[in-house]
């Protein structure tokens, strides 16, 4: 790489020597921050309108600048923008190109009162706002896909697990509703973060504020921000919105990882509850009989990548003094990578859940009568026996069935039940019905059909 004289740089007036070529490479961010070209051009467009409003640009100059910005945007969109040595970031590249199109005299006025400190903070917020808005739309569609499936397969029963041990019967739709609830909370959390992202740093200058009294409310409104950030020092140095976005991404990926892990387990031959569609599976290079849930394993694996982005940036940020420091350039690569990973993960997960097939017979065949031991205790509770006592009695019934080598507690005779506790009657046999067990759980959030349908309706309303 050839050395670039300092005079070609936005900050070159103070410096007379060339920088180390490795330093140019180390310092440059254009290879990854050019993804924000549209946000940068939009910010410049509105900023120059603000300069015109305080008579630092004429209408004719403003018109020329806007013409040049449109041409630059077209070049980026058509992949004809020519990057040149000395373009250390998207801001430098766009301003250099603007000077080539409309002349350096007018282009040189664009940056009046503005610093790359408030410029990059503005670009980042515009970019994150747009990406988060799109991601929330994808996330909403993902959750609605889950809800639709849950409604269609409301009658399918399966074991519910704790400690990966069969616990109590539930509906497959109840399981789907659980993850739909997690992802709906992610949706709501994302909307809250979006509000905090949508604050304007523009017009704060390098750190001390704008020297020409620019109307920051006008700039904020023009860029669709809710309001300007109230302190210029904060405005240029705040990256909490990046941290929050990375945390949101990490928490979503935590949920998608757990979702994937369940489905991976359920797809094994030992369970056989579900099978991924061919579009989201691969085979083995050695064992032709295998069908691997690679989509789900990648979803699970990529969660670590996003967690790492959050942890890495937090370490970069934790000891930075006020206000802007170059360390903050390290916000972009982890943020961009995390947002892209989350976007792809949502789309893949939507494809997986909309195309997988379930094996109802295997799901319901995995239900065993010992899973109704709590229902047996509840049977006596309804007869007025304290639960702590009924829990002990139910445990004795389970032990008796095991000692007699019966297939389940339902195989005990009425006489055997009465030998354990006289309060058992003929109607004890009614306990041993999986559908009835599920349907008893009608309280909000429960596994009864009415309760699950209410959950699905409530989640859908929150998305809307």
H/E/C letters for each residue in the chain? CCCCEHHHCCCHHHCCCECCHHHHHHHCCHHHHHHHHHHHHHHHHHHHHHHHHCCCCCHHHHHHHHHHHHHHHHHHHCCCCCCCCCCCCHHHHHHHHHHHHHCHHHHCCCCCCCCHHHHHHHHHHHHHHHHHHHHHHHHHHHHHHHHHHHHHCCCCEEEEEECCEEEEEEEHHHHHHHHHHHHHHHHHHHHHHHHHHCEECCCCCCCCCCCCCCCHHHHHHHCCCCEECCCHHHHHHCCHHHHHHHHHHHHHHHHHHHHHHHHHHHHCCCCCCEECCHHHCECCCCCCCCCECHHHHHHHHHHHHHHHHHHHHHHHHCCCCCCCCHHHHHHHHHHHHHHHHHHHHHHHHHHHHHHCEECHHHHHHCCCHHHHHHHHHHHHHCCCCCHHHHHHHHHHHHHHHHHCCCCCHHHCCHHHHHHHCCCCCHHHHHHCCHHHHHHCCCCCCCCCHHHHHHHHHHHHHHHC
Q: Domain count of the chain?
A: 3
What pLDDT was estimated at residue 286?
Answer: 63
Number of residues that this document lists for the chain? 464
Note whether 295 and 432 are same-domain residues. no
Q: Based on the domain organization, do 241 and 345 belong to the same domain?
A: yes
CATH number for position 103: 1.10.275.10
Judgement on whether residues 272 and 331 belong to the same structural domain of the protein: yes
Peptide bond just before 455 cis, omega within 30 deg: no
| Domain CATH for 321 | 1.20.200.10
Give the pLDDT of residue 5: 47
Q: Is residue 1 part of a domain?
A: no
Residue 165, domain member (yes or no): no
411: domain CATH number is 1.10.40.30
Dihedral sign from CA coordinates of 342, 333, 130, 191: positive
Residues 332 and 429 placed together within one structural domain of the fold: no
Same domain, 253 and 395: no
On whether both 212 and 296 belong to a single domain, the answer is yes
3-state SS of 184-203? Answer: HHHHHHHHHHHHHHCEECCC
Residue 190 maps to a domain: yes
79 and 128 in one domain? Answer: no
Q: Are residues 249 and 149 in the same domain?
A: yes
DSSP bridge partners of 274? 358
Does 233 share its domain with 304? yes
Task: Give the domain-ending residue among 331, 365, 399.
Answer: 365
Q: What is the pTM of this model?
A: 0.91
Instruction: Note whether residue 14 is domain-resident.
Output: no
Assess if residue 163 is contained within a domain: no
Confirm whether 201 is domain-assigned: yes
Which residues, including other chains, have CB under 8 Å from residue 151's CB and lie 6 or more apart? 173, 453, 456
Tell me the residue range of the domain where 262 lies: 116-156+170-365
Domain boundary among 311, 338, 365: 365
- Is residue 26 domain-shared with residue 121, that is, in the same domain? no
Same domain, yes or no, for 296 and 399? no
pLDDT of residue 172: 98
Residue 421 phi, psi (nearest 5)? -155, 125
Asked if the structure places residue 386 within a domain, the reply is yes
User: Cα 84 vs. chain centroid, distance in angstroms?
Assistant: 36
- CA nearest to 258, candidates 300, 314, 224, 226: 300
Place of tokens 């023009």: 222
196: tokens are 């905090």
Q: Which tokens in the block code for residue 295?
A: 């989509």
Q: Which of 357, 426, 200, 461 shows the shortest CA–CA distance to 453? A: 461
Q: What are the Cα distances from residue 417, in Å, to 387, 389, 423, 426, 450? A: 17, 15, 9, 10, 32
Positions marked active-site = 163, 284
Domain limit, last residue, from 315, 333, 365: 365
Cβ burial 287-297 (10 Å sphere, 16+ → b, else e): eeeeeebebbe
Which residues, at least 6 apart from 339, have a Cβ–Cβ distance to it below 8 Å? 128, 131, 132, 135, 245, 249
pLDDT score recorded for residue 9 = 57
**In a domain? residue 199:** yes
pLDDT of residue 289: 65
Q: What does the pLDDT read at residue 284?
A: 63
Q: Are residues 246 and 268 in the same domain?
A: yes
Each of the 464 residues of the chain gets a pLDDT tens digit; together they read 444 444 455 545 555 556 677 877 777 889 999 999 999 999 999 999 999 999 999 999 999 999 999 999 999 999 999 999 889 999 999 999 999 999 999 999 999 999 999 999 999 999 999 999 999 999 999 999 999 999 999 999 999 999 999 999 999 999 999 999 999 999 999 999 999 999 999 999 999 999 999 999 999 999 999 999 999 999 999 999 999 999 999 999 999 999 999 999 999 999 999 999 999 987 666 666 668 899 999 999 999 999 999 999 999 999 999 999 999 999 999 999 999 999 999 999 999 999 999 999 999 999 999 999 999 999 999 999 999 999 999 999 999 999 999 999 999 999 999 999 999 999 999 999 999 999 999 999 999 999 999 999 999 999 98
Q: Which two tokens stand for residue 194?
A: 């979006």
């Amino acid at each position: 790489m050839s050395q670039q004289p300092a005079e070609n740089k936005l900050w070159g007036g103070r410096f007379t020597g060339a920088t180390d070529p490795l330093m140019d490479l180390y310092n440059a961010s254009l290879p990854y921050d050019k993804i924000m070209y549209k946000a940068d051009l939009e910010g410049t467009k509105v900023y120059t309108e603000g300069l015109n409003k305080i008579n630092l640009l004429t209408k004719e100059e403003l018109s020329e600048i806007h013409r040049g910005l449109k041409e630059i945007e077209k070049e980026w969109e058509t992949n004809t923008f020519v990057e040149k040595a000395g373009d250390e970031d998207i801001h430098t590249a766009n301003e250099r190109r603007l000077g080539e199109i409309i002349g350096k005299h007018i282009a040189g006025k664009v940056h009046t009162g503005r610093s790359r400190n408030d410029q990059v903070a503005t670009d980042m917020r515009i970019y994150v706002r747009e990406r988060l808005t799109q991601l929330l739309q994808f996330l909403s569609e993902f959750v609605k896909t889950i809800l639709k499936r849950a409604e269609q397969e409301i009658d399918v029963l399966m074991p519910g697990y704790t400690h990966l041990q069969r616990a109590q019967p539930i509906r497959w739709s109840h399981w789907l509703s659980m993850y739909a609830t997690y992802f709906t909370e992610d949706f709501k959390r994302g909307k809250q973060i979006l509000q905090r992202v949508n604050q304007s740093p523009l017009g704060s200058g390098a750190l001390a504020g704008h020297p020409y009294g620019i109307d920051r409310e006008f700039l904020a409104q023009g860029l669709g921000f809710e309001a300007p950030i109230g302190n210029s020092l904060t405005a240029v140095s705040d990256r909490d919105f990046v941290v929050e976005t990375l945390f949101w991404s990490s928490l979503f990926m935590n949920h998608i990882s757990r979702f994937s892990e369940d489905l991976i387990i359920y797809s094994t031959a030992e369970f056989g509850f579900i099978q991924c569609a061919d579009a989201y599976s691969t085979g083995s290079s050695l064992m032709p009989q295998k069908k691997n849930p690679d989509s789900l394993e990648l979803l699970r694996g990529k969660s670590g990548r996003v967690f790492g982005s959050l942890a890495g940036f937090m370490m970069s940020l934790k000891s930075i003094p006020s206000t802007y420091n170059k360390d903050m350039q390290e916000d972009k690569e982890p943020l961009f990578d995390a947002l892209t990973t989350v976007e792809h993960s949502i789309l893949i997960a939507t494809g997986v859940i909309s195309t997988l097939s379930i094996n109802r017979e295997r799901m319901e065949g995995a239900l065993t009568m010992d899973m109704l031991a709590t229902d047996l205790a509840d049977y006596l509770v309804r007869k007025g026996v304290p639960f702590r006592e009924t829990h002990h009695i139910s445990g004795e019934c389970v032990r008796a069935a095991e000692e007699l080598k019966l297939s389940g507690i339902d195989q005990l005779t009425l006489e055997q039940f009465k030998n354990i506790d006289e309060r058992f009657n003929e109607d004890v046999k009614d306990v041993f019905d999986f559908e009835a067990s599920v349907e008893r759980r009608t309280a909000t959030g429960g596994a009864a059909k009415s309760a699950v349908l209410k959950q699905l309706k409530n989640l859908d309303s929150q998305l809307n």
